[in-house]
Amino acid sequence: SSDDLTEVENYTKSKYAQPNPEYFGKAKGKNIIKIHLESFQTFLIDYKLHGEEVTPFLNNLVRDPEYTYFDNFFHQTEQGKTADAELIMDNSLYGLPQGSAFVVRGTNTYQALPAILNQHGYTSAVLHGDYKSFWNRDEVYKQFGVDHFFDASYYNMTEEKVIGYGLKDKPFFKESIPMLKSLKEPFYAHLISVTHHHPYLLHEGDETIAPAETGDPSVDRYFQTARYLDEALEQFFHDLKAEGLYEDSVILLYGDHYGISDNHNRAMAELIGEEITPLKHAELQRVPLLIRIPGVEGQGVNHEYAGQIDVMPTLLHLQGIKAQDYIVMGTDLFSKDHKDFVPFRNGDFMTGKFSKVGGVFYDNATKEPIEEPTEEMKELNSMVMRELELSDRVLYGDLLRFYTPNEKWTPVDPKKYFYGKQEE
């Protein structure tokens, strides 16, 4: 009901963080190239296997003065995996406690980033080497206002180019270049890689680093597909530069979720030389976030605690669009008032000082459980629970039907979109 909506609105307005004037509007009208790093966990950055860097290209990017790298950035996904990451980052709402919102709430009204950017002159596109119906993307993207969805039907899917869930990352990024060039500018393009996905299979000849040697096969291969993705990115950046698509574009890279689940704690402990306690497992849910804004110097490594929920308000403010007009649960990463607690879908959360994992509070410095949580901890805990509950209310109640962000807003009409090359 609209009462429910008022409560949600009051919450998001009260959590709002004012934009940082050094960043507000700085990317207005620039192309945005958002790159999905499938199953990529932060521990891979600068990780050395057999004395070799696994991801040398990304390691350099982390040190590139044009980039800001968030090393305390966490994924917040649940069962919806990739789809949750997409939902969270383009809507600043949480995925559902069970199932994937893309599937069970695929016909909801959304006020997603692609639609908002469309109304500010942008063309939006998703590029992905799997078929359009996976995760119900072809339905929910219409509600998000995605103009073009280049799915597998646009790519050369011959057998030797495909492995696992779809087109291999190298041909995927290669073939994506002309599609990007075909877009009317400015564009918001989201490229979803897929080769670095469980069970981490590669064709012979695509392996350029030896597997790890824990004896847990998918963990051992995890490093090989990470290397393959890293090489695919290097090639893609080279091509973007050669085609004049790089220089003036916002470049954003993010990891969608973990690749190594807690079924692999034994192998993981061996690889990082530490026991995988519940707290350690939560700490391993870090995924990389890198942002490059043309004409704005990078910050180097930014240690702010943040999550995927914070990306949409950040991108809105970079456009000079007030995130306050929209129902967003996260806050701008560049804001001085950014809220530095990271809720996980199960009600656990992380901050720089303390965490709640499996319902138990921990001191991050000593790694010890806290027997008597402080008032601050209890308050934050209620806030996290409330935030998750309000976000669920929006999705289950399809509440954005009743919300008008501002007087200029035109509701998205899903009937205007058609995806896929082949006729159905």
225 binds Mn ion (CB under 5 A): no
Which parts of 2-97 are beta strand (E)?
32-37, 48-49, 52-53, 67-70, 73-74
Of 384, 358, 381, 362, the C-alpha closest to 371 is 362
CB of 258 to Mn ion, least distance (A): 9
Query: By beta-carbon distance, which residue lies closest to ligand GP9?
Result: 81
Q: Which of 31, 55, 76, 82 binds ligand GP9 (CB under 6 A)?
A: 82
Buried b (16+ CB within 10 A) or exposed e, 317-349: bbbebbbbbbbbbbbbbbbeebbbbbbbbeebb
User: Nearer Cβ to ligand GP9, position 5 or 83?
Assistant: 83
Contacts of 152 (CB under 8 A, 6+ apart): 128, 129, 130, 131, 132, 166, 167
84 binds Mn ion (CB under 5 A): no
CB of 422 to ligand GP9, least distance (A): 18
130 binds ligand GP9 (CB under 6 A): yes
Binding map of ligand GP9 across residues 154-173, x = CB under 6 A, - = no contact:
-----------x--------
194 binds ligand GP9 (CB under 6 A): yes
CB of 304 to ligand GP9, least distance (A): 26
User: Nearer Cβ to ligand GP9, position 77 or 355?
Assistant: 77
Q: What is the largest CA-CA distance in the chain?
A: 62
Residues 344, 350: Cα–Cα separation, whole Å: 8
Residues 249, 210: Cα–Cα separation, whole Å: 35
| Residue span binding ligand GP9 (CB under 6 A) among the ranges 56-64, 76-84, 115-123, 245-253 | 76-84
User: Nearer Cβ to ligand GP9, position 33 or 62?
Assistant: 33
Amino acid identity for residue 144 in this structure: F
Start-to-end Cα distance in the chain: 37
Residue 99: strand pairing partners: none
User: Nearer Cβ to ligand GP9, position 134 or 409?
Assistant: 134
| Residue span binding ligand GP9 (CB under 6 A) among the ranges 80-88, 214-222, 223-231, 389-397 | 80-88
Please give the structure tokens belonging to residue 166: 């779809």
Amino acid identity for residue 149 in this structure: F
CB of 303 to Mn ion, least distance (A): 26
Residue 287: contacted member of ligand GP9, Mn ion, none (CB under 5 to 8 Å, by partner type): none
Residue 192: contacted member of ligand GP9, Mn ion, none (CB under 5 to 8 Å, by partner type): ligand GP9
Residue 130: contacted member of Mn ion, ligand GP9, none (CB under 5 to 8 Å, by partner type): ligand GP9
Nearest-5° Cα angle at 404, 190 to 149: 20
Q: Is 326 left (phi over 0), alpha (psi -120 to 50) or beta?
A: beta
CB of 336 to ligand GP9, least distance (A): 34
Contacts of 423 (CB under 8 A, 6+ apart): none
Helices (H) and strands (E) in the chain, counts: 12, 18
Binding map of Mn ion across residues 245-284, x = CB under 5 A, - = no contact:
-----------x----------------------------
192 binds ligand GP9 (CB under 6 A): yes
CB of 86 to ligand GP9, least distance (A): 8
Q: Which of 12, 82, 143, 331 binds Mn ion (CB under 5 A)?
A: 82
Q: DSSP string covering 167-203, please?
A: E-HHHHHHHHHHHHHHSPSSEEEEEE--SS-TT----
Positive or negative: CA dihedral 130, 31, 121, 113: positive
81 binds ligand GP9 (CB under 6 A): yes
Of 353, 346, 344, 356, the C-alpha closest to 381 is 356
Task: Map residue 383 onto helix, strand or coil.
Answer: helix
Buried b (16+ CB within 10 A) or exposed e, 210-230: ebbebebebbbbbbbbbbbbb
CB of 287 to ligand GP9, least distance (A): 12
CB of 78 to Mn ion, least distance (A): 12
Identify the active-site residue in 42, 82, 314, 331.
82
Cβ–Cβ under 8 Å, residues 143 and 106: yes
Residues 219-278 that bind ligand GP9 (CB under 6 A): none
User: Nearer Cβ to Mn ion, position 69 or 135?
Assistant: 135
User: Nearer Cβ to ligand GP9, position 179 or 296?
Assistant: 179
Residue 191: contacted member of ligand GP9, Mn ion, none (CB under 5 to 8 Å, by partner type): none
Let me know if 82 is a catalytic residue. Answer: yes
**What are the residues binding Mn ion (CB under 5 A)?**
81-82, 256
**What are the residues binding ligand GP9 (CB under 6 A)?**
81-83, 130, 134, 165, 192, 194, 197
Catalytic residue IDs: 82
